[in-house]
Amino acid sequence: MKIGELARLSGLTPSRIRFYERIGLLKTVDRRPNGYRTYPQQAVMILGLVTTAQRAGFTLDEIRTLLPSDLKHWDHATLMDALTRKIADIEALQVRLTQSRAHLLRLIEDIQARPDDMDCAANAHRVLTNMLAEHPEALDVTSDDIRLLDATDRRQSVSPGRGKKTASR
């Protein structure tokens, strides 16, 4: 079949199919005398495999190293290993997402939990401080630093502060 038909059958664009060929992902392609590419039926299955693997989170590079030239001769051990590691990756990502979600929920609650006697600016400050205190890993900042920020921010200071590390003139 020609590239257009393969595109229709696989749901990919011709440009994408040619791209996959260029990067060595689709090797089952011949040429007709007129220069047109011609594909075996198998190509549909290969492309389906590629997009499926992509949805599962594999990069094209990974897919290329896993994909045998002949769909019948897989490297069983390598494949199983890759699948297992990909599952672990997914699980790690799920953990991160769960944390992010919880973090956002806490943030929403925190914003809404504004004491009646607190104005918006002070509430903003309170929420921000809580948030940054919750994740000190990213900020190379000690609790001393947080307290310091706290103070300077409250004073709305833009003047040359003279803290410990913070005040390099």
Distance from the Cα of residue 150 to its chain's centroid: 33
Query: For DNA, which residue of 13, 99, 100, 166 counts as binding (CB under 7 A)?
Result: 13
Helices (H), the chain: 3-10, 14-22, 42-55, 60-66, 76-112, 120-134, 143-154
Site for a second copy in 37-76 (CB under 8 A): 38, 40-42, 44-45, 48-49, 51-52, 55-57, 71-74, 76
Query: Taking the alpha carbons of 98, 138, 144, 118 in that order, is the dihedral positive or negative?
Result: negative
Residue 167 binds a second copy (CB under 8 A):
yes
Q: What is the dihedral of CA 129, 130, 136, 138, to 10 degrees?
A: -70
Shortest distance in whole angstroms from residue 23 CB to a second copy: 19
> CB-wise, 155 or 165, nearer to DNA?
165
Cβ 4 vs Cβ 42: under 8 Å:
no
86 binds DNA (CB under 7 A): no
Bridge-partner residues for 30, per DSSP? 38
Among the residue ranges 55-63, 69-77, 98-106, 107-115, the one whose residues contact DNA (CB under 7 A): 55-63
What is the nearest approach in angstroms of DNA to the Cβ of residue 43? 12
Does position 89 interact with DNA (CB under 7 A)? The reply is no
Question: Binding to DNA by residue 59, rule CB under 7 A?
Answer: yes
Among 9, 18, 49, 131, binds DNA (CB under 7 A): 18
Q: Strand 37-38 and strand 30-31: pairing? A: antiparallel
Residues that bind DNA (CB under 7 A): 2-5, 7, 13-16, 18-20, 32-37, 54, 59-61
